[in-house]
Amino acid sequence: MICWKIVVRCVAASGAILLASCGSQSDSGEFMTWDQANQEYQEAVASFPWALPEGVDFPSSPFHASGNMLYQRGWGAMQAYIFAECAYQRVVVDNEYTSMEAAMDALDKAERIHGSPTYQSHYSDPDGIWQGVIDKARLGDFSEFNAFFSTDCST
């Protein structure tokens, strides 16, 4: 099972509701306000180690859910990495039938971002599902890759 380790906490008037992509993740991290998470994002964008695809720029701020939210440390930085990975996934999808060279180059870059220490510190895939998707795409089968793109990068 693939699991995000980042936790977002919604504080409702009647109490706290914990939102996480995996129920088994602990609630033991430090939390930040939106302003702090946005600052973390801005710092990650400013120091992002790789170029984005041509014509793509980071959004001025990360996704912001409405309501009174707290964000676990790392959430802001992860938004930059997820955006960059999705940008390269878009290049793969756009080129899989027209330029295999461009698709494979973008696949390499998406894989590099995905494998970075920042990304991996907030992502768990003990069964190697993502690597299996990448391996199939390298062999020309983009079906699962396209499904991941549609699910994870649709915004």
- Model pLDDT for residues 4-28, shown as the tens digit of each residue: 454 444 433 333 333 333 333 444 4
The more confident residue out of 23 and 61 is 61
pLDDT given at position 18: 34
**pLDDT digits over 139-153, tens only?**
999 999 999 999 989
The closest of 4, 6, 15 to 68, measured between CA atoms, is 15
Instruction: Give the number of domains in the chain.
Output: 1
Taking 3-state DSSP, the helix, strand and coil percentages for the chain, each rounded to the nearest 5, stand at 45, 15, 40
Residue that the structure tokens 């946005």 belong to = 38
Q: What is the pTM for the complete model shown?
A: 0.79
Domain span at 103: 3-152
pLDDT given at position 155: 60
Distance CA 74, CA 123 (A): 11
